[in-house]
């Protein structure tokens, strides 16, 4: 500890507070204005509070498990497409790009981005729907809510408190994902992660679906946005086809969406110059795409929904995963002794169905199907 302190004292680099004063916009969330943590902790000599939160998420078991959780396409379908972890990293990267351009707090953005999907159960949204159905009599299941439960209760890293003891701002940011409609206007850092999530999946689901052959490029030309992207690419690079066209179009899709958010958001921020993050939140300002982009994104998303997410190949995978989860939900309730001791005793606090749901939600795709084979497939 004294070593770290000495280093920070003679280090000619600025402290994180000084650095934030120089680099961040007045409307960014500054660490010095943080409402702190539920269990107070002493400041770290050289890591800011949101940097510590980012590290806590990064070192959590739930985060590592994202490597083997379905984003949209399962492991059975090949090895090109995104997993929940690589999706998360793409979101973090795009969100930081937007955040840096707007001079926001990148540490907070990164913490929120790495956290945003941590509560996803195995088998993607299909898994979430199955658990929601299983738990319908006990309050249902949502991955956003479960993400909070993981970092507040289930992750064990410290002897002094349960969970990761993250800052108020990170917890509130994740909380705003649970209740998007009625909560207060979120910090810009939170809004940026939300936007980056949608920019990211629109682009990578398009890319993955093409690479997996679920769609052809001609199919996608039905949508205004892809038509526009293809024209822009061909204007720049000439007539292209196949893999190169796909890659350049996906690149353009990210580039144009990010540019659009920056143009619209940047203009508003320049005109209104909010003097603090609190003032910005009070204004109710929502960062987002311009009207045309919003409409074109909607069209692309509706197209992906119809043609990719409901593709027969995915529907088949989905129903297999859902059937597994439902059998396991009933099975672990019948034989709770098959669960680890901590989930057996957690049933005393949250009830057996919820505890079983939490145990299942924490599993990776692979572990889930292994446990299914081991205990429940006759």
Return residues touching Mg ion (CB under 5 A).
117, 197
Residue whose entry in the numeric block shows the structure tokens 């959780």 = 69
CA-wise closest residue to 354 among 365, 339, 368 = 339
Q: Cα 215 vs. chain centroid, distance in angstroms? A: 25
Taking the least distance from each CB to Mg ion, the nearer of 88 and 296 is 88
CB of residue 291 to Mg ion, shortest distance in Å: 24
The structure tokens listed for 199 are 């920019």
CB of residue 86 to Mg ion, shortest distance in Å: 11
CB of residue 66 to Mg ion, shortest distance in Å: 10
CB of residue 117 to Mg ion, shortest distance in Å: 4
CA distance 195 to 259: 12
CB of residue 130 to Mg ion, shortest distance in Å: 19
Taking the least distance from each CB to Mg ion, the nearer of 26 and 288 is 288
Taking the least distance from each CB to Mg ion, the nearer of 128 and 197 is 197
163 Rama sector, left if φ>0, alpha if ψ -120 to 50, beta otherwise: left
CA distance 15 to 314: 50
Taking the least distance from each CB to Mg ion, the nearer of 56 and 84 is 84
Taking the least distance from each CB to Mg ion, the nearer of 53 and 117 is 117
Taking the least distance from each CB to Mg ion, the nearer of 83 and 105 is 83
Contact 365, 122 (CB under 8 A): yes
Residue whose entry in the numeric block shows the structure tokens 């007539």 = 239
Taking the least distance from each CB to Mg ion, the nearer of 24 and 95 is 95
CB of residue 91 to Mg ion, shortest distance in Å: 6
Extract long-range pairs of 131-139: CB within 8 Å, 24+ residues apart: 131/325, 131/329, 131/357, 131/360, 131/361, 133/326, 134/325, 134/326, 134/329, 134/353, 134/357, 135/353, 135/354, 135/357, 137/353, 138/351, 138/353, 138/354, 138/357, 139/354
CA distance 196 to 296: 16
**C-alpha separations of 314 from 35, 90, 212, 306, 308 in Å:** 44, 23, 12, 12, 8
CB of residue 27 to Mg ion, shortest distance in Å: 25
Range list of H helices, 116-241:
124-134, 143-149, 168-178, 188-211, 217-220, 224-237
CB of residue 118 to Mg ion, shortest distance in Å: 10
CB of residue 258 to Mg ion, shortest distance in Å: 16
Taking the least distance from each CB to Mg ion, the nearer of 34 and 70 is 70
CA 217-220-224 angle, to 5 degrees, is: 130
CB of residue 260 to Mg ion, shortest distance in Å: 20
Taking the least distance from each CB to Mg ion, the nearer of 29 and 115 is 115
Taking the least distance from each CB to Mg ion, the nearer of 197 and 260 is 197
* Residue 266 CA neighbour count, 13 Å, CB half: 12
Q: Cα 141 vs. chain centroid, distance in angstroms? A: 17
CA distance 246 to 254: 13
């Amino acid at each position: 500890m004294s070593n770290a302190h000495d280093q920070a004292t003679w280090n000619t680099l600025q402290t994180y507070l000084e650095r934030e004063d120089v680099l961040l916009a007045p409307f960014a969330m500054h660490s010095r204005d943080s409402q702190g943590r539920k269990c107070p902790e002493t400041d770290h000599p050289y890591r800011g509070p949101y940097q510590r939160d980012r590290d806590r998420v990064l070192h959590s078991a739930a985060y590592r498990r994202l490597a083997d959780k379905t984003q949209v396409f399962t492991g059975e379908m090949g090895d090109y497409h995104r997993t929940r972890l690589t999706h998360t990293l793409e979101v973090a990267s795009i969100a930081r790009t937007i955040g840096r351009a707007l001079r926001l707090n990148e540490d907070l953005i990164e913490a929120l981005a790495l956290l945003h999907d941590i509560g996803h159960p195995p088998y993607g949204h299909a898994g979430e729907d199955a658990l929601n159905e299983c738990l319908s009599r006990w309050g249902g299941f949502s991955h956003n809510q479960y993400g909070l439960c993981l970092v507040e209760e289930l992750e064990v890293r410290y002897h002094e408190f349960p969970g990761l003891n993250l800052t108020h701002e990170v917890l509130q940011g994740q909380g705003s994902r649970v209740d998007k409609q009625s909560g207060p206007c979120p910090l810009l850092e939170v809004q940026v992660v939300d936007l980056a999530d949608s920019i990211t999946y629109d682009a990578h689901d398009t890319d993955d679906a093409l690479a997996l052959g679920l769609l052809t490029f001609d199919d996608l030309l039905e949508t205004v946005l892809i038509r526009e992207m293809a024209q822009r690419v061909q204007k720049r690079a000439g007539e292209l086809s196949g893999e190169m066209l796909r890659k350049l179009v996906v690149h353009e899709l990210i580039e144009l969406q990010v540019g659009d958010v920056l143009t619209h958001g940047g203009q508003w921020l320049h005109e209104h110059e909010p003097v603090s993050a609190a003032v910005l939140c009070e204004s109710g300002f929502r960062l987002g795409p311009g009207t045309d982009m919003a409409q074109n994104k909607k069209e692309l998303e509706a197209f992906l929904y119809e043609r990719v997410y409901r593709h027969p190949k995915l529907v088949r995978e989905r129903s297999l995963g859902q059937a597994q989860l439902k059998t396991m939900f009933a099975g672990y309730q019948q034989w709770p002794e098959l669960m680890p001791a901590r989930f057996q005793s957690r049933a005393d606090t949250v009830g057996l169905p919820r505890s079983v749901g939490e145990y299942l939600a924490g599993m990776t795709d692979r572990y889930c199907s292994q446990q299914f084979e081991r205990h429940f497939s006759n």
